[in-house]
Chains A and B, each alone.
Chain A
Amino acid sequence: EDKVVQSPLSLVVHEGDTVTLNCSYEVTNFRSLLWYKQEKKAPTFLFMLTSSGIEKKSGRLSSILDKKELFSILNITATQTGDSAVYLCAVTAGGTSYGKLTFGQGTILTVHP
C-alpha cells in the first residue's frame, strides 16, 4: 500500500523565519510528488516534482525531490502570516493507479506576526 509521511505535523514560527517541511514516501511505480497548500477550502497547487535533484522555485517557496532516498522538502523563506496553512504532500503512481493522489497527513504551519 502506498504511504506518505509528513513531518513535522505542526510548526509555529514568527514572521521572517525560514521553515523546512518534510515528506517521505513509499510508492510502487512512483510517478510524481506534489505539494499543495490548504487554507479554508480545497488545496491549491504549489509544485509537481518528477525528477531528482532539480529544485523548483516560486517566490519564497522552493522544493526538491530525492528519488533515491524517497523524500522531498518544501522550503519557505522569510515567512509571512499569509503562509499559515496546512501543507499537503501527495504522490501519484503509474499503472492502474495513474492519476490517484495519496496524501500525507499534512503539516500545519502557523506564522505569528
Chain B
Amino acid sequence: GAVVSQHPSWVICKSGTSVKIECRSLDFQATTMFWYRQFPKQSLMLMATSNEGSKATYEQGVEKDKFLINHASLTLSTLTVTSAHPEDSSFYICSARPFGNTGELFFGEGSRLTVL
C-alpha cells in the first residue's frame, strides 16, 4: 500500500515554544492531507484538511492561528503547533489519499507531542 511518513515520531518541548510536524507521502501525490489528534483512550478527531496550494480548512473548535498548516507541495504538509501548552500534548496523525483514489486513506505513523 501507499506510504505516508511522519516526522518526528515523538517530541518533548517546553511550554510556549513552537513545534513543527511533517507529513510526507513517499510514493504518491496527495492534493489533500488530513490532520487528526488523538487524546489518550479517545478516538481520532479531525483537526483540519490541508489543501495543496491553498488555505487549510479547520474543523469547528480548532484554532487556526494556533495550529498552522502549510501544504507546500503535492507530497508534503506540515502542522506547526504554536506557543504550545501542556493541554496540547497529544498524538497527532496525518493521513493522505492518493490522487484519484476513491476512498482509502493512508496514515502516517503519528507524532506524540509532550509539552512540559
Contact = CB atoms under 8 A, between A and B. Distances in A.
Interface of A: 31-32, 34, 36, 41-45, 48, 50, 88, 90, 92, 99-106
- The main secondary structure of chain B at its interface with chain A is loop
A49 to B, nearest CB: 10
A99 B32 CA distance: 8
Contact of B46 (A36, A45, A50, A101): A101
B104 to A, nearest CB: 5
Contacts of B32: 99
Given A34-B104, A99-B32, A99-B34, A42 B43 contact: no
A99 B43 contact: no
B43 A48 contact: no
B44 A43 contact: yes
B116 to A, nearest CB: 22
Nearest to B94: A42
B24 interface: no
A36 B36 CA distance: 15
Interface string B74-116: 0000000000000000000101010000111111111000000
Given A41-B9, A41-B110, A43-B93, 20 more contacts: A34-B105, A41-B109, A42-B93, A43-B107, A44-B107, A45-B104, A45-B105, A88-B44, A90-B44, A99-B34, A99-B49, A99-B97, A99-B105, A100-B34, A100-B46, A101-B36, A101-B105, A103-B43, A105-B43, A106-B43
A10 to B, nearest CB: 10
7 contacts: A34-B103, A41-B9, A41-B109, A88-B43, A99-B97, A100-B49, A103-B45
Contacts of B108: 42
Interface in B40-58: 42-46, 49
Contact of A32 (B43, B93, B103): B103
Contact of B107 (A31, A42, A50, A102): A42
